[in-house]
Chain A
Amino acid sequence: MLGDVFNAQFIASSIRVAIPLALAGLGGVFTEKSGVVNIGLEGMILTGAFTAVAVTNFAKNPWVGVLAAILVGIFLGLIHAITCITFKANQIVSGVAINLFASGITIFFCWLLFGETQIMVKNNLPIWGLSLPNIGEASTLVRNLIVIFAHHSPLVYLTIIIFLLSHIVIYKTPFGLRLRSVGEYPQAADTMGVNIVKMRYIAVLTSGALAGLSGSFLSLEQAHFFVKEMSGGRGFIALAAMIFGKWTPFGTAGAALLFGFGEALSIRLQGVSAVPVQFINMIPYLLAIFVLISAVGRAIPPAASGVPYEKEIV
């Protein structure tokens, strides 16, 4: 039975399921590195997921849908940024409000534009990569390797590129150094002439774009439809991945893969195992809680994360 579950297809599907978590988690890395907590990732994923499907169906082109999802994510990021950075309001409450807003506005427009709460994707994204060889004795390994590494949606490769770039930007550029300093010790960064408000705005808008992209992958690629509340807590699981990954891009990617594995397992075990499906559905959420407990003491957040910056006036 284990052999049936853990094969190349399963690993490939783990990767696919991990992508939305990884992208949103990376968004969390950017904002928290700059000192802003973004609980609104969940709502940004949901809105991205809806926008991607709606625009794809109207424009008859999934790429336009992906772009629109990113823009909508940036827009929600802007609301969060204005509320938390400019007005220095409570960051968690603002995030919660964005989630509430997303739940409402997605179904609102779903009814308005389509007259139902579930919409199918009409134009799918292509699959890029090598073509699968016919199964022969020798080509099974080749086939498995291709299934795992080289037969995916373009967004999977894009995600890998984004992660490499993010690592370089955060750790190897002056911009990244400023970003991290703003989240660790804003007073010092301010003294050195770093524009704290600007850095935090960039970080929050980036997280919005990444969460929007994450949502577009979820609806266009993973589900092939949009349905009410389809983000299913992924924004929060992504935050758990970020914490477990110690606020680093590669750590977050690793943790997202772990969660992807858990979710793929729960999908795969449905109908196969004797355990009731409702308990299998709990796996990703239980995993997130256990991972958070195990991360205690090992993962240290950026020192100024969640604290609005008040310039000292002498």
Chain B
Amino acid sequence: MKSIKKFDYTILLEKMTPLIAVILALLVGSVVIRLTGEDPIFVYKTLFSNAIGNRDGWGNVLFRATPLIFTGLTVAFAFRCGLFNIGGEGQMYIGTFLAAWVGFTFIHLPALILIPLCVLAAAAGGALWATVPGILKAKTGVHEVIVTIMMNWIAASLTFYLVLLYKASATEAMKAAGVQQMIPHTDEIAEAARLPRLYNIFKFLNIDFPAHNQVNVSFFIAIGVAILAYYILWKTKLGYEIRAVGYNAIAAEYGGISVARNIILAMMISGAFAGLVGTNEVMGFKYRWRQELFTNLGFNGIAVALLGKNHPLGVVLAAILFGILNYGGALVNIYTEGRVPRELIMVLQAIIVIFVIISDELFKRLIRQRRKIA
């Protein structure tokens, strides 16, 4: 055995591209911070040391990572079928509202039934909203990018209508003061529909953890869904077909795989993931639906999926990184008294995306060249 295969460093480098992209983006970000007249080193130190320096920070990071895992999986799953589902925002709206609706309507059901029912409602709402662009793409060929974006705005209007329909009755205090709801919202969901915070579990295990921390059981649902996504994509016939369509739709069709059917199914599953954001936002945190214009969780899912290379494990890691940036960014905003606005993080995320796709391309070319030489 003379020819022991030499370890190929380019492959390792290729796997590392997201990390390189993040570092480059942080460097560009420091220029932006400099523009605001602040010290980049101080800002980054504040950002990271507070976010991951203690248990409370970690809890907050995971709480913010949870919805991003869902929306990241949304984009990644559809992408495996060759689809750009950038309608996570709208699918999340419908799923979340539906979860809240079940939660404040069927208030007499026990937790054992109500919690699964709410989770199902969240997934079903998202799946329903994603099926429309899926069917349009499969049956007429209309590009899913434009349709999903239009569906985002329609979802925002629809939930606004529904929240006024199911508006929470004014409290006695509000009636006395004669004030209206500032942000329209529904009634709270039943106690039995709420997901416990992780604090309760830590307390049971005698681990010291702050009670006000919002990280809740939804984080485990997100991890479970990531595993499920992996299982569907790589261990089932459906996943094989979906990936075949994504890799080469014409070849898949020729091989007897229905492209239309797989496009619709992939969109449905992808949308269901987005809808599940409701488990964190409504069942684990606000306990009601509040009407807000886009939270950007759906759009950030695109960045998360890209950074995670459209793999469930990558998505979880990327979501945690974005959780760190989001939470740390909010703290920086407070520490600098608004001199470094938290939107800096959105800018950083966009720069990360651009660097990831550029470095991916560069490494692909590098590897191709190596092979040609060899």
Chain A residues engaging chain B, CB cutoff 8 angstroms = 39, 79, 83, 87-90, 92-94, 96-101, 103-105, 107-108, 111-112, 115, 228-229, 232-233, 236-237, 239-240, 243, 276, 278-279, 281-282, 285-286, 288-289, 292-293, 296
A97 touches B350 (CB 8 A): yes
In the complex, 21 of the A-B residue pairs with CB atoms within 8 angstroms, ordered by the A residue number, are A83-B354, A87-B358, A89-B357, A89-B358, A93-B353, A96-B86, A99-B299, A100-B300, A100-B302, A100-B349, A100-B350, A100-B353, A101-B346, A101-B350, A104-B347, A107-B341, A115-B338, A240-B150, A278-B161, A286-B154, A292-B142
- Assembled-state Cα–Cα distance A282/B154 (Å): 5
A101 touches B351 (CB 8 A): yes
Nearest 7 A/B pairs, CB to CB: A104-B346, A101-B350, A278-B161, A97-B353, A89-B357, A108-B343, A100-B350
Which residues of B have CB within 8 Å of A279? 157, 161
B361 touches A101 (CB 8 A): no
A83 touches B343 (CB 8 A): no
The verdict on B303 contacting chain A, using a C-beta distance below 8 Å, is: yes
Kindly identify which residue among B36, B353, B354 contacts A112, using a CB–CB cutoff of 8 Å. B36
Mark B144-156 against chain A: 1 for CB-CB distance below 8 A, else 0: 0111011111100
Given A94-B354, A101-B347; 7 other pairs, CB 8 A cutoff: A103-B299, A104-B343, A115-B338, A233-B153, A236-B145, A236-B146, A292-B147
- Assembled-state Cα–Cα distance A278/B300 (Å): 26
B1-42 with Cβ < 8 A to chain A? 32, 36
A103 touches B361 (CB 8 A): no
- Please name the residue on chain B nearest to A281 by beta carbon: B157
The size of the chain B interface, using a CB distance under 8 A, is 49
A288 touches B146 (CB 8 A): yes
B362 touches A87 (CB 8 A): yes
- Assembled-state Cα–Cα distance A39/B302 (Å): 14
Of A101, A232, A279, A288, which is in contact with the most chain B CB atoms at under 10 Å from its CB? A101
Which residues of A have CB within 8 Å of B302? 93, 96, 100
- Assembled-state Cα–Cα distance A293/B143 (Å): 10
Return A36 CB to nearest CB of chain B, in Å: 15
B157 touches A289 (CB 8 A): no
Which residues of B have CB within 8 Å of A236? 145-146, 149-150
The SS class assigned to the B binding surface is helix
A108 touches B341 (CB 8 A): yes
Which residues of B have CB within 8 Å of A288? 146, 150
Instruction: Report how many A-B pairs have Cβ atoms within 8 Å.
Output: 134
Kindly identify which residue among B141, B152, B296, B362 contacts A103, using a CB–CB cutoff of 8 Å. B296
Which residues of B have CB within 8 Å of A232? 153
The verdict on B317 contacting chain A, using a C-beta distance below 8 Å, is: no
Which residues of A have CB within 8 Å of B154? 282, 285-286
With A89-B360, A94-B357 already in contact, the answer to whether A104 and B150 are too (CB < 8 A) is no
Which residues of A have CB within 8 Å of B215? none
- Assembled-state Cα–Cα distance A278/B299 (Å): 23
- Assembled-state Cα–Cα distance A39/B157 (Å): 23
Kindly identify which residue among A89, A276, A293 contacts B140, using a CB–CB cutoff of 8 Å. A293
Of B152, B161, B303, B354, which is in contact with the most chain A CB atoms at under 10 Å from its CB? B354
Return B368 CB to nearest CB of chain A, in Å: 11
- Please name the residue on chain A nearest to B358 by beta carbon: A87
Which residues of B have CB within 8 Å of A281? 157
- Assembled-state Cα–Cα distance A98/B302 (Å): 12
- Assembled-state Cα–Cα distance A236/B299 (Å): 15
- Assembled-state Cα–Cα distance A99/B145 (Å): 13
Return A117 CB to nearest CB of chain B, in Å: 10
With A104-B347, A296-B140 already in contact, the answer to whether A289 and B361 are too (CB < 8 A) is no
Which residues of A have CB within 8 Å of B152? 233
- Assembled-state Cα–Cα distance A90/B356 (Å): 11
A296 touches B150 (CB 8 A): no
Return A270 CB to nearest CB of chain B, in Å: 12
The verdict on B294 contacting chain A, using a C-beta distance below 8 Å, is: yes
Return B222 CB to nearest CB of chain A, in Å: 22
The verdict on B367 contacting chain A, using a C-beta distance below 8 Å, is: no
- Assembled-state Cα–Cα distance A98/B357 (Å): 13
A97 touches B354 (CB 8 A): yes
With A97-B354, A285-B153 already in contact, the answer to whether A296 and B142 are too (CB < 8 A) is yes
